[in-house]
């Protein structure tokens, strides 16, 4: 009996030592690193809350060795500058609207085609499905790595001239847009003067009157305090912005497989939380902005249809120029979902 007991104890000790060795080997594959995570929105926005949750999970998963340091409000530069910094290795991580990557991978514009998504159920299905995976697979050749799709939200229009209740009300307005050909072409086609500009410069441009208005998701309009320099808000939901969480490939290639897995798993783990935060904030913001003095107009469905018809040549041109087969794959998925409703 004693011999059997000793054998059992010895076996347990050997197993424990073996497991301890595995733990040590795994720990050795995680170096102490401080990872700069740059983005243009504020730290208290749905972007910033996602970044903070990401930092918590990465710290936990890495035993405190990987430290995510958020740099909010564009302090390290606008989106286009940040893309270059990611490629060059001076910034390790970021998040931004995928259309800002269209200069590198033109197909990324398809998520933000005007009125392509009716709701977040549709956007989630496309982003998390084959189309989303196809596009992230194109990034490494451009010096970037896509980890996950979070959410910015449906974009809406503000201005300081007059309420916008119909298509014609957009004509002649100077509207700040993303630094993306899709947004420039879209608002020029509506008769506005599209002014591409980095987000960190926008508040001052609105305050000085350099531009009349801008378009962004509701949460951004409030968190960036655009209500202080904009009177009129129109709920248009004209375009949907995902967020793509990015790492620079130069940085990524220096990581061990364990470190890469931690960052990838953490980004995916944060995804449902960050999307939920975005949607919860969005549900409350319109009333909050109205209480702060903005005049809020809900664009009628008939006017949305008129705007969509006006933008059809822009949409068709862009779809044909990027990847008609991929656009059709996305449309087929949406049609299948809508037929099942």
Q: pLDDT, tens digit, for every residue of 182-217?
A: 999 999 999 999 999 999 999 999 999 999 999 999
Pick 318 or 168 by higher pLDDT.
168
134: Cβ contacts below 8 Å, ≥ 6 apart? 107, 326
Helix (H, G, I), strand (E, B) or coil at 228: helix
Whether the per-residue pLDDT at 8 is higher than 50: the answer is no
Distance CA 186, CA 190 (A): 7
Task: Judge contact between 166 and 145, C-beta under 8 A.
Answer: no
Q: Give the residue extent of every domain in the chain.
A: 32-339
Distance CA 83, CA 182 (A): 18
CA atoms within 13 A on the CB side of 102: 23
Using a pLDDT cut of 90, give the percent of the chain over it: 87
pLDDT digit string, tens, across residues 318-330:
888 888 899 999 9
Q: Span 310-338, mean pLDDT?
A: 92
Query: How much is the pLDDT for 320?
Result: 87
Angle CA 63–66–68, to nearest 5: 125
pTM score, whole prediction: 0.88
Task: Judge contact between 146 and 100, C-beta under 8 A.
Answer: no
Q: Span 229-252, mean pLDDT?
A: 97
Whether the per-residue pLDDT at 241 is higher than 80: the answer is yes
Work out the number of other CB atoms within 10 angstroms of the CB of residue 83: 23
Identify the helix (H) or strand (E) that includes residue 110: none
Distance CA 263, CA 278 (A): 21
DSSP 8-state symbol, 168: G
Task: Judge contact between 259 and 247, C-beta under 8 A.
Answer: no
Strands (DSSP E) along the chain, which ranges? 33-38, 66-71, 93-96, 144-159, 174-177, 193-196, 213-217, 232-248, 295-298
248: Cβ contacts below 8 Å, ≥ 6 apart? 85, 86, 87, 88, 89, 91, 92, 93, 143, 144, 145
Query: How much is the pLDDT for 322?
Result: 85
pLDDT digit string, tens, across residues 88-132:
999 999 999 999 999 999 999 999 999 999 999 999 999 999 999
pLDDT digit string, tens, across residues 253-264:
999 999 999 999
User: What are the backbone dihedrals phi and psi of residue 284, each rounded to the nearest 5 degrees, phi first?
Assistant: -100, -15
Q: Does domain 32-339 have CATH number 3.40.190.170?
A: yes
Task: Judge contact between 172 and 209, C-beta under 8 A.
Answer: no
Query: How much is the pLDDT for 16?
Result: 39
Identify the helix (H) or strand (E) that includes residue 337: helix 324-339
Query: How much is the pLDDT for 196?
Result: 97
Q: Which residues pair with 235 in a beta bridge?
A: 298
Name which of 58-72, 130-144, 166-180, 314-328 the model is least confident about: 314-328
User: What are the backbone dihedrals phi and psi of residue 258, each rounded to the nearest 5 degrees, phi first?
Assistant: -65, -40
Q: Span 314-339, mean pLDDT?
A: 91
Whether the per-residue pLDDT at 5 is higher than 60: the answer is no
Helix (H, G, I), strand (E, B) or coil at 115: coil
Distance CA 235, CA 243 (A): 20
pLDDT digit string, tens, across residues 11-34:
443 333 333 333 333 445 999 999
The size of the chain, in residues, is 341
């Amino acid at each position: 009996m004693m011999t059997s007991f000793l054998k059992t104890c010895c076996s347990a000790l050997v197993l424990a030592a073996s497991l301890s060795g595995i733990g040590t080997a795994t720990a050795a594959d995680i170096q102490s690193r401080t990872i700069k995570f740059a983005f243009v929105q504020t730290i208290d926005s749905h972007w910033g809350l996602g970044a903070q949750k990401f930092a918590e999970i990465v710290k936990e998963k890495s035993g405190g060795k990987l430290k995510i340091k958020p740099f909010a409000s564009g302090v390290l530069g606008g989106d286009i500058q940040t893309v270059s910094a990611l490629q060059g290795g001076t910034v390790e991580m970021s998040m931004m609207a995928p259309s800002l990557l269209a200069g590198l991978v033109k197909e990324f514009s398809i998520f933000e085609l005007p009125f392509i998504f009716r709701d977040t159920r549709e956007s989630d299905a496309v982003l998390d499905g084959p189309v989303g995976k196809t596009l992230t697979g194109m990034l490494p050749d451009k010096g970037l790595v896509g980890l996950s799709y979070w959410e910015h939200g449906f974009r809406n229009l503000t201005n300081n001239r007059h309420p916008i209740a119909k298509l014609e009300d957009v004509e002649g307005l100077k509207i700040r847009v993303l630094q993306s050909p899709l947004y420039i072409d879209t608002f020029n086609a509506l008769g506005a003067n599209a002014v591409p500009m980095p987000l960190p410069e926008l508040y001052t441009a609105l305050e000085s009157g350099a531009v009349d208005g801008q378009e962004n998701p509701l949460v951004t309009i409030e968190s960036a305090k655009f209500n202080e320099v904009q009177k009129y808000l129109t709920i248009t939901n004209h375009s949907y912005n995902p967020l793509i969480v990015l790492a620079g490939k130069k940085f990524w290639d220096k990581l061990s497989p364990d470190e890469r897995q931690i960052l990838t798993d953490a980004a995916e783990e944060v995804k449902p939380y960050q999307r939920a935060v975005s949607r919860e904030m969005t549900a409350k913001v319109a009333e909050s902005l109205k209480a702060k003095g903005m005049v809020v107009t809900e664009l009628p469905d008939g006017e949305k249809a008129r705007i969509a018809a006006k933008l059809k040549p822009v949409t068709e041109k862009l779809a044909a120029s990027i990847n008609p087969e991929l656009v059709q794959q996305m449309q087929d998925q949406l049609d299948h979902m809508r037929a099942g409703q």
